[in-house]
Amino acid sequence: MITKKELTEEFDQVREVRRDVVFFQDKMRSYTYSYWLAGSEARDLLVVSETDVDDELALAIVDAVPHSTPSDRPAIFELPKESSRFTHVIVVPSNYHSYLKGLKRIDRNKLFLCIPIFRCEFSGNECPEAFRELRLRSVPTLNWKREKHPKLLVYFDNPKTGAGTEEQGAYLKLDYLFEEIENLQGVGNAFVELTNWEGRVVELLWSANDKYRFIIDRQDEYELSKQKLFDRVKEFACG
92-135 tens-digit pLDDT: 999 999 999 999 889 999 999 999 999 999 999 999 999 999 99
Rounded CA-CA distance 145/187 in Å is: 38
CB 84 within 8 A of CB 91: no
Rounded CA-CA distance 93/100 in Å is: 13
Q: For the residues 153-182, what does the mean pLDDT come to?
A: 94
Per-residue pLDDT at 76: 98
Q: For the residues 215-238, what does the mean pLDDT come to?
A: 94
